[in-house]
Structure 1
Amino acid sequence: METVYKQYNIRLSIDSRFEQVRLLSGALRGIGKELELSDDKLGQLELMMVEAVNNVIEHAYEMQGGNDVRVRVEYNPEVVHLIISDSGRTMPDELHSEVKDMPDPEGLPEGGWGMGLIHLLADSIRYSNDAKGNHLHVSKQLA
C-alpha cells in the first residue's frame, strides 16, 4: 500500500510594519509545531522568514506602512518552501543572484546580515518578479 503524505499550502499576510513581523513568527511557530518540525529546522525557517520580511519592509517599502507583505508556506514531508512576496521596489540582482558573504563581525554593522543569513540557511533560494510583485523563494530540506 502506498503511503500518502499530507501537503500544505498556507498563506499569511501582514501590513508592512515591523511590529507585525512578530505575528508572522508566531504563526510560523504554530504551523511548525503542528507539522512536527524539529526545533532546529523551525528556528532556521523562522530566521529566514523574519530576515526576508524585514528586508521587504525596510527596502522594498522604504519603511512605509499600509502595504501587504505576503508569506506562503508550502510543506511536504521532504521540504518546506517559504515564498515572501511584496509589491514594492525590486531587489537588486547582486543581493539574490549569488551566495552572500556574511558581514565582518568586527565591524558590527547594523545591517547587511539578512540576505547573508538567508543564503547560509536556505537549501535553495530564488528571486523572481512578475505583474503580481516580487517573490523570494527559499527552501529548507527536512530529510
Structure 2
Amino acid sequence: MSQQSVDHIEMKLPAKAEYVGVVRLTVSGIANRLGFTYDDIEDIKIAVAEACTNVVTHAYAEEGILNVAFHIHNDEKLEIIVSDKGQSFDINGLREQIGPVDANRPIEDLKEGGLGLYLINTLMDKVEIHDQSGIILIMTKYMQGDEVEQHVDGIPPARTEQR
C-alpha cells in the first residue's frame, strides 16, 4: 500500500480583474504538467476564471484578497480552492433563485448569476461550496474520467491484491 503524496501551491492576489489571467496561466501550467488533455485544461481554465471572477465581482465592496490553492494528488486528481474573506451570501437562497438547470431550455433563460456556477458545475467533476466568513469553492478534476462514478458515494473502489 503506497502513501498518497499531495503537493500544495498557494497564491494570494488582489481581487482585481487583471489578476484573473495570472490564475488561469498558473492552473494551465499545473494541469499540463499533470498530463490532463487539452480539452480538460481548457475546461479547468474556464471554471477557475469563473470562480475568480465571482470573487472579483461579488466578494468585496472595496479592495480584498483572492486566495487560490492547488492540491495535486499524485496523478489522480487536481483540487482547486478559490476563497475570499468578503461578504458572504446565502448559498441556499442562491440555489433556489437559480433553480435547477433544464438542458432543453436555451442558455439565455438562465437567471442572472447562474451562468458562472452552471459552467463550473458542468466543467468540473466535483464542486463544493462552503460559506464560512467568506466563500470557499472547491473544484476537483480527476485524471481518469471513470473516477467520478467510482467516488460518487465517497467510497473508493475495492482493490484486489495478488499474492
TM-score range, shorter chain: 0.7 to 0.9
1:87 is matched with 85
State the aligned residue count: 139
1:86-105 superposed matches below 5 A:
86-94=84-92, 95=94, 100-101=100-101, 104-105=106-107
- Counterpart CA distance in 1 for 2:14 and 2:40 is 26
TM-score with structure 1 setting the length: 0.80
Q: Percent of pairs identical after alignment?
A: 24
1:73 is matched with 70
Coordinate RMSD, CA, aligned: 2.9
- Counterpart CA distance in 1 for 2:112 and 2:25 is 25
Higher strand share: 1
Aligned partner (choices 129, 132, 143) of residue 130 of structure 1? 132
1:32 is matched with 31
Cα shift at 1:136: 0.7
Matched, 1:141 2:139: no
Give the unaligned 5+ runs of structure 1: none
- Counterpart CA distance in 1 for 2:132 and 2:108 is 39
Q: Secondary structure at the match of 2:30?
A: helix
Give the unaligned 5+ runs of structure 2: 145-163
Q: Secondary structure at the match of 2:52?
A: helix
Q: Which has the larger radius of gyration?
A: 2
1:49-68 superposed matches below 5 A:
49-62=48-61, 64=62, 66-68=63-65
TM-score with structure 2 setting the length: 0.71
